[in-house]
Amino acid sequence: QTTVAIPAAKLWSLDQPNLYMVRTTVSTVDGKVVTLVDEVKLQTGIRTIGKEKQNILFNGAPVTLRGVTWTEDSPDHGGALSYEQMEKDIALIKNLGANTVRFAFHPPHPFLLQLCDQYGLLAIEEIPLYEVPADILTGENYRTLAENYTREMIRRDRNHPSLIAWGLGDGFEATNTRTAAVIEQLHGVVKSMDKRLTYFIAMSPENTPASSIVDIAGVRLSNPDVKEFKALLARWKQSHPAQPVIVGRYGKAIETGNRNGYSDPMSQEAQARYLFQRYDALKESAIAGGFVWGFADWRGDRPMLSVKSENPDIYSYGIVEYNREKKVAYDVVRSMFLGEKIAALPIG
């Protein structure tokens, strides 16, 4: 291990994502002849991340995560997006006024993290532990696979300054004490390799031993009305007094092309109103942040039966459509993230 001093170093930040190129070489010396054997170049940045009580600290100051979830899918390329499409997505997210991207359910393509480094966007990513039954999750072979996946994710991505937290799962049986033991094991793996924060997304704000183990207590709230949303959020925050609290996702699926006004719950206007009301509740609760579900529509592996659609395989939660055409919600989310006045939505 080598320590390198950088005189007058500039911090990596959201407004000024200063990056440094680190070049490492291995050479042989024979008299006065120096022969290069190998060379590695790495672009990285300098910043600090930590927590204090219920605050996430970025470069020593509290930061509230204004985020969106991003799903790796597009009409032309499926899950194998082109570099051009990836950059267009990140540029749209930056323009949105978001400061964080949640790469949900599995680590993203490495180029996306490079883009976050360059554009000044925070990122969180997680291993693919999604709604795994406790009997499977706690099996010895599965735990070994999860631990190996965690190690590989950290080794690959730990040099990105934009990356602030490692996710250890979403939506499985968090009330189960055996599940908590798995989260504790994975949390220990992370801390043995890296100083970043850890998080876990619980399915509901019930008794969740697993959420008390990680650094950030995440929860997902499945479409309650605004009053209930606030009550559940307050309960979750109260039950985690020593941890930053985030909402892992909040969103609403709609009928593509429906512009009937927000009196129609399946309209684009209803989706925009839903997101604004929940974001207002997040600000009022003063938690560490939340993530709009999600950036763009995506194709699922089973049809959506709760929403009428010409293509039921498309999950219409995005604030932009599958082809990246902006919905009404995009401009509303941009205004709320930037603290601007939101234009009145038609009731229909």
HSE (side-chain half, CA atoms, 13 Å) at 276: 24
Helix and strand totals (H; E) in the chain: 8, 15
- Residues whose CB is less than 8 angstroms from the CB of residue 55 and which lie 6 or more positions away in sequence, other chains included: 62, 244, 288
- The secondary structure element, H or E, covering residue 184 is helix 177-193
* pLDDT the model gives residue 282: 96
Residue of 173, 169, 172 whose CA lies nearest to 150: 169
C-alpha–C-alpha distance, residues 88 and 80, integer Å: 14
- Cα distances (angstroms) measured from residue 201 to each of 141, 155, 220, 262: 23, 23, 7, 30
C-alpha–C-alpha distance, residues 165 and 163, integer Å: 6
162, 113 contact by CB (below 8 A): yes
3-state DSSP helix/strand/coil percent for the chain, to nearest 5? Answer: 30, 25, 45
DSSP state of 212: G
Query: One digit per residue, pLDDT tens: the chain, 348 residues?
Result: 778 888 889 999 999 999 999 998 999 998 888 899 999 999 999 999 999 999 999 999 999 999 999 999 999 889 899 999 999 999 999 999 999 999 999 999 999 999 999 999 999 999 999 988 888 988 999 999 999 999 999 999 999 999 999 999 998 776 778 888 999 999 999 999 999 999 999 988 876 788 899 999 999 987 779 999 999 999 999 999 999 999 999 999 999 889 999 999 999 999 999 999 999 999 999 999 999 999 999 998 888 888 887 788 999 999 999 999 999 999 999 999 999 999 899 999
Is residue 256 classed as helix, strand or coil in its secondary structure? coil
Tell me the residue ranges of DSSP E strands in 260-332. Answer: 289-292, 298-299, 314-315
251, 294 contact by CB (below 8 A): yes
C-alpha–C-alpha distance, residues 306 and 264, integer Å: 14
Is residue 209 classed as helix, strand or coil in its secondary structure? helix
| Mean pLDDT over each residue of the chain, to the nearest integer | 93
- DSSP characters over 57-123: EETTEEE-EEEEEE-S--TTTTTS--HHHHHHHHHHHHHTT--EEEE-SS---HHHHHHHHHHT-EE
What is the pTM assigned to this prediction? 0.94
